[in-house]
Amino acid sequence: MKHLQVDNDSLEPKTVKLALLSAYDKTGLVDFARRLKAGGYNLVSTGGTALDLQNGGLDVQQVSDLTGSPEILDGRVKTLHPTVHAGILARRNNES
């Protein structure tokens, strides 16, 4: 997933690489996430997965912070949000 941010110095949009991580079986997750970070990705994750990544010493943004919406249905619904889907489904060459 890629995300556009505005560079405050030049006021030009820049592309930021985001990796969305959510895992039931977290075996090897921290090592995998470290490789993503080494590749220039910022990490975005859901509740329990984010906690494991943070405990592994990684900086991670909660999906709920990105979307502005909390997890619902006892944590079963985390990433069903237009912000998440727009990042996944967007056509990069279409400005809309």
pTM of the model: 0.64
In angstroms, rounded to a whole number, what is the distance separating the alpha carbons of residues 14 and 37? 18
Looking at 3.90.25.10, 2.30.30.830, 3.40.50.1380, 3.20.20.70, the CATH number of the domain 2-89 comes to 3.40.50.1380
Cα–Cα distance measured from residue 2 to residue 17, given in angstroms and rounded to the nearest whole number: 5
Does 83 score more than 80 pLDDT? no
- pLDDT at residue 63, as a whole number: 80
Give all strands (DSSP E) within the chain, no chain letters. 2-7, 12-21, 42-45, 60-62
Express each pLDDT in 26-79 by its tens digit: 999 999 999 999 999 999 988 889 999 999 999 998 887 776 666 655 655 556
Say how far apart CA 39 and CA 60 lie, in whole Å.
Answer: 15
> According to the model, what pLDDT value does residue 36 have?
96
